[in-house]
Structure 1
């Protein structure tokens, strides 16, 4: 089970803020693949608060944060299950975006193309994502 492995690694001292050669942290990958359970473990691990702030808003090579990746993601580890069960495939992406926003991800950060997560949601005509990005604490400046 992925969650158990991540927990064991963190309990053994793994640093969730370390990144690979592309600048991706484990949270970037969890956001891209809509793995909310893994994101929860990474954000809630018993590491200093500054590490959580660091990983929630860490930018990769193109300036994208985990929140950007969650908004842009079309992947889901359960995508086939969802489609076969007639569930809305967007449910995992929405859950990831809500989780990141509720844990302090900054929706005002622009990527290297000058786009915030809201811009990406609007470009992909995702009304639900745009509403989530605008709702959290009314702190999103869409300009």
Structure 2
């Protein structure tokens, strides 16, 4: 992997064009998720478009639950087929996430999370993962109420 799991999850959270980004980012950030063998990390928009259109049909035929696929295909349709992409593959149990970015700047183009047939997707996080650091409480000044105005 060219980027750490947590960096990838954080980059995914900034990709507001991906509707299920919180679910996919939570899966990637989970300690059980690990990078998977990736024989073709460097690819192109045309190759990704062809592969994932075919997988969309297969997923529907085999009743595979999927998140992010429609957003990925939508993003790819606006791009040149020759544009280079980098693919990251991560797995945990019966689930796999494929994340596609534009390389050096880790600008996420799209991401897909799917399971094996008959396996539901992992539960969505209760709260977005955008802030992982310690939470600070902000105190606001409270003035005395003037009840006799």
**TM superposition score category, shorter chain reference:** under 0.3
Query: Larger relative contact order (C-alpha < 8 A, sep ≥ 6)?
Result: 2
Larger radius of gyration: 2
Structure whose residues are more often strand by fraction: 2
- TM-score by length of structure 2 reads 0.25
- TM-score by length of structure 1 reads 0.26
